[in-house]
Structure 1
Amino acid sequence: MRIPPYGPLISLVALCAFEPAAQGYELYNEDEGATVLNADLWAGLGWFSSARNYIGDPQREPGRMRWQEGFAKYGVSGATDKLDAGSIYGGFSLISTASWGDGDPGGISAGDESRTAVEEAYLGWRSGELIPALGKDGVDFSFGRQIVSVNGFLITDDGFAPGRAFSPIEGVADGRFNRGGAYYLGPRLAFGHSAVLKLGGEQGLHGSLIWLKSDNPGQSKTEVAAATLDYTTPIGSIGSTYVRGLDVDERYAFGERLERKGLETYSLRGQGNAGIEHADFAFEVARQEKRSGSQRAMFFDAGYTFADAPWQPTVSYRYARYSEGWDFMFQGGYRRRYQGEVAVNYAASVTWNMQINDVLFSVRPTDKLTLNAMFFNYHQLSDRDSQDASAREVDLFLDWRVTDSITLSPLIGFYKPRKGFGDGGLQSGSAATNTYLQFIVWVNY
């Protein structure tokens, strides 16, 4: 059985940083921000085309597929520090998603999904100056439906959004994993249940204790506990993460997810400029312990921005490696850097049994326009169900912030697998280069 890819967690929705983090439209402001209430809107609309598909169905050759996705997240958020001790903050939002057309070329969505549901409903408290030894807001506790991210690549969000066509359990194709469309855009980021305690602020020694329970069938409704410990200085930070699987809903479990209960993951990570102005370094090494044995994953990246040169060019390199039985969990892009378009989202899972080298080059002609080029080399480490996922990919894309609230993101990608369908690969027709196109409009108020 082929285990489908989980690439939406690493899509441009993360890379471009157009998450629902804008200040929103101010509805109420008392005493110069002591109490505020904002109306928030985050939306996206995308058009997609792929000359080949990866469904493994000879009847769909040569495989061209065209589809559209859209979403709108709308709600309110606010905070007040007019308390005797600390401040309270919270938010509530709904999200509407839909897909149209042929469905995506990975066979995850059918192109006729839609849904409106509660996205966020959370409440939090920050300590302010109440505990001087921990610094300002040295205690931050929140709970409810909310987006939770941990530095590094083990927990980014709960953004995997399969559609009606997703059927990873053999013989089961009843739509039980459907989250209502927008598979690529992946805007349903909040965990269904959470409690997060952060201690120590953002500098010096600080850490967190986290409980998460996903209500996402595509994540087998996994429940985990996690802890982090970091030491942060002006030139960078070093830290560690521990994640333990507490439970999984076996009605939705498949593949490596069947071992999530009791699974333990440990990691050591770091990021910063190491005292070199305009440089950027990061790494993480992780180990998983589960019933079938130990698994490992790691990445390292290094980059530099030529800040005094015209258009401020940036060059960076990243190396990543996953062992054969690595469980992706809630992992996302490495510090919001995605791992390709066709390979990750549609053609094959590259988050286990894979070694990846990639290079990024970007320039900024203006403050509102960024041009990007990325090259990826995917090398499968060992045979996997007689399917070879080795490939190369080139993606050219730009981010144009037309206004403070509207951004356009066109992309063209070229994906060349080592093998095609019928020859140990998944690409329809042959191993010829696939041309992939997308155009996305982001709106954020």
Structure 2
Amino acid sequence: MRTPSCSPLFSLVALCALTPMAQAIEIYNEDEGATVLNADLSAGYGWYSSSRNYLGDPARRSGRMHWQEGYLKYGLRGTTDRVGAGSVYGAVSLLSSATWGEGDIGGITAGSERRTALEDAYFGWKSGDSIPALGADGVDFSFGRQLVTVSGFLITDDGFNPGKAFSPIEDSNGRFDRGGAFYIGQRLAFANTAVLKVGGNEGLHSSVAWLKSDNPGQSKTELAVATVDYTTPFGSLGSTYIRGLDVDERYVFADRGERKGMDVYSIRGQGNAGIENADFAFEVARQEKRSGSQRGMFLDAGYTFADLPWQPTVSYRFSRYSEGWDFLFQGGFRGRYQGEVAVNYAGSVTSNMRINDILLSLKPTESLTLNAMAFDYHQLSRRDERDFSAREIDLYLDWRVTENVLLSPLIGFYKPEKWLDNGGLQSGSADTNVYLQFNVWLTF
């Protein structure tokens, strides 16, 4: 689930081209861009292997598993300023996804998932220069089925893609299945949204949004969101408020029922603080739920040695989540996930956990980036649950072979403190799990 990021902190420049609007096939262009219609096509395929699993099944003691995932996204996207004031834009797309083989080592997919469904279907209006006091495109209103990301780490997307094996409640019978491709899948859009952004991206700006998920793995949560930010060339400071409006009781599990009526408050910031080649970020958040208050936070600091060969980037991140923290629609911190095995398969690292991690990134050429990450996971408390304390090292590269093809192989080493027979979840033993993956990304 490591996602593309265009942040200079990580030097993953090659991955920026994988964002949904990076490339397109132009179908129609009137008056040098006054009206444009593009066809979008992207695809991904991944091969995965692991020497251990986290199924909690004593019968599979050796634990070795292999599986594959893939997706294909295809659709149309357009914009026009021939509507009087401002411009309108919209998109519609379908996404096909699948998992093959034995299914993943976390017991999320079974290996037999196949699905084609609507992904994007949204319409929007930007004000252009019609409201001078708010600047260019000072008002941006959109609605429909679309990807919505809120600055920080509380809402990244609706990208949890479980398969037939995901059974958080009795008699699930595959009804949480979203088509598989749990790791590589790009089924990210919220089913129903209305988003209003005011003030552009500089100075004082804000947004309000209504988001409703149709994802059973998220208990089909409905939220109201408000943000306010102040952005300068040195960085930005902001705050987010989230109100939980509703959940679908048929899909409630664990503490998801508490999302209805939950309030979330956060203060966040990011930027270089006036230091060239530096990058800093933090967010401190509080959740008020029926069961009490919960806390979640992260901070990171990084620096790119731009004048040295290969332009090395070094960064450190600390994150902490209280025992009852609800991860909501949390993804990566600006595209930087918290490990491959731990966050995807080996148990919860987004509640009751303290995490330290370090990233080293090197860029030998414009088309090749080498990355190494190390993680230390410390579980804060044990209350009749398994211990997910562990360490992990991930080594991977991103190689842009052509303008349309990017390869990303990875090897990970995950060492838990406990295993299935003594309070952990890993099969076989507490020895180091060797995890391999090879992803291919295509954009046209």
Q: Which amino acid in the other structure matches residue 42 of structure 1? A: S
Distance 1:362 1:98, change over 3 A: same
SS in 1 for 2:255: helix
SS in 2 for 1:242: strand
- 2:81 aligned residue: 81
In the alignment, does 2:3 pair up with 1:29?
Answer: no
- Aligned counterparts, 1:14-413, within 5 A: 16-17=15-16, 18-169=18-169, 171-413=170-412
Q: Tell me how far apart the structure 1 counterparts of residues 84 and 23 of structure 2 sit (CA, whole Å).
A: 25
The offset of 1:258, in angstroms, is 1.2
Q: CA RMSD in A?
A: 0.9
Distance 1:13 1:183, change over 3 A: farther
Q: Tell me how far apart the structure 2 counterparts of residues 30 and 195 of structure 1 sit (CA, whole Å).
A: 29
- Determine if contact 1:22/1:40 at 8 Å carries over to the other structure: no
Q: Tell me how far apart the structure 2 counterparts of residues 327 and 46 of structure 1 sit (CA, whole Å).
A: 29
- 2:9 aligned residue: none
The offset of 1:186, in angstroms, is 2.8
The offset of 1:385, in angstroms, is 3.2
SS in 1 for 2:420: coil
- Determine if contact 1:13/1:185 at 8 Å carries over to the other structure: no
Q: Tell me how far apart the structure 2 counterparts of residues 130 and 385 of structure 1 sit (CA, whole Å).
A: 60
Q: Tell me how far apart the structure 1 counterparts of residues 171 and 318 of structure 2 sit (CA, whole Å).
A: 36
Q: Tell me how far apart the structure 1 counterparts of residues 350 and 249 of structure 2 sit (CA, whole Å).
A: 22
Q: Deviation digits for residues 340-397 of structure 1, max 9, x if unmatched?
A: 0000100011000000000000100001100000000000000043310000000000
SS in 1 for 2:343: helix
Q: Tell me how far apart the structure 1 counterparts of residues 319 and 100 of structure 2 sit (CA, whole Å).
A: 34
- 1:4 aligned residue: none
Unmatched 5+ residue regions in structure 2?
Answer: 6-11
SS in 1 for 2:208: strand
SS in 1 for 2:284: strand
Q: Tell me how far apart the structure 1 counterparts of residues 247 and 435 of structure 2 sit (CA, whole Å).
A: 35
The offset of 1:13, in angstroms, is 5.4
The offset of 1:402, in angstroms, is 0.8
Q: Which amino acid in the other structure matches residue 44 of structure 1? A: G
Q: Tell me how far apart the structure 2 counterparts of residues 386 and 138 of structure 1 sit (CA, whole Å).
A: 50
- Determine if contact 1:93/1:119 at 8 Å carries over to the other structure: yes
- Determine if contact 2:76/2:91 at 8 Å carries over to the other structure: yes
The offset of 1:430, in angstroms, is 0.6
TM-score computed with the length of structure 1 as normaliser: 0.97
Q: Deviation digits for residues 263-304 of structure 1, max 9, x if unmatched?
A: 000000000000000000000000000100000000000000
Q: Deviation digits for residues 17-46 of structure 1, max 9, x if unmatched?
A: 423222300001111111100000111000
- Determine if contact 2:147/2:157 at 8 Å carries over to the other structure: yes
Q: Tell me how far apart the structure 1 counterparts of residues 431 and 385 of structure 2 sit (CA, whole Å).
A: 20
Q: Tell me how far apart the structure 1 counterparts of residues 311 and 255 of structure 2 sit (CA, whole Å).
A: 43
The offset of 1:172, in angstroms, is 2.3
SS in 2 for 1:228: strand
Q: Deviation digits for residues 93-152 of structure 1, max 9, x if unmatched?
A: 000000000000000100110000000000000000010000000000000000000110
Bigger Cα displacement from structure 2, 195-204 vs 329-338: 329-338
- Determine if contact 1:122/1:146 at 8 Å carries over to the other structure: yes
The offset of 1:58, in angstroms, is 1.1
The offset of 1:12, in angstroms, is 3.9
Q: Tell me how far apart the structure 1 counterparts of residues 30 and 384 of structure 2 sit (CA, whole Å).
A: 62
Q: Tell me how far apart the structure 1 counterparts of residues 396 and 339 of structure 2 sit (CA, whole Å).
A: 11
In the alignment, does 2:417 pair up with 1:418?
Answer: yes
- Determine if contact 2:97/2:185 at 8 Å carries over to the other structure: no
- Determine if contact 1:200/1:206 at 8 Å carries over to the other structure: yes
Q: Tell me how far apart the structure 2 counterparts of residues 116 and 384 of structure 1 sit (CA, whole Å).
A: 41
Q: Which amino acid in the other structure matches residue 211 of structure 2? A: L
Q: Which amino acid in the other structure matches residue 106 of structure 1? A: G
- Determine if contact 1:354/1:380 at 8 Å carries over to the other structure: yes
Q: Tell me how far apart the structure 2 counterparts of residues 172 and 341 of structure 1 sit (CA, whole Å).
A: 29
TM-score computed with the length of structure 2 as normaliser: 0.97
Q: Which amino acid in the other structure matches residue 132 of structure 2? A: P
Q: Which amino acid in the other structure matches residue 21 of structure 2? A: A
SS in 1 for 2:220: coil
- Determine if contact 1:23/1:38 at 8 Å carries over to the other structure: no
Unmatched 5+ residue regions in structure 1?
Answer: 1-7
Q: Which amino acid in the other structure matches residue 151 of structure 2? A: N
Q: Which amino acid in the other structure matches residue 213 of structure 1? A: K
Q: Tell me how far apart the structure 2 counterparts of residues 384 and 198 of structure 1 sit (CA, whole Å).
A: 43
Q: Which amino acid in the other structure matches residue 57 of structure 1? A: D
Q: Which amino acid in the other structure matches residue 137 of structure 2? A: D
Q: Deviation digits for residues 214-247 of structure 1, max 9, x if unmatched?
A: 0000000000000000000001000000000000
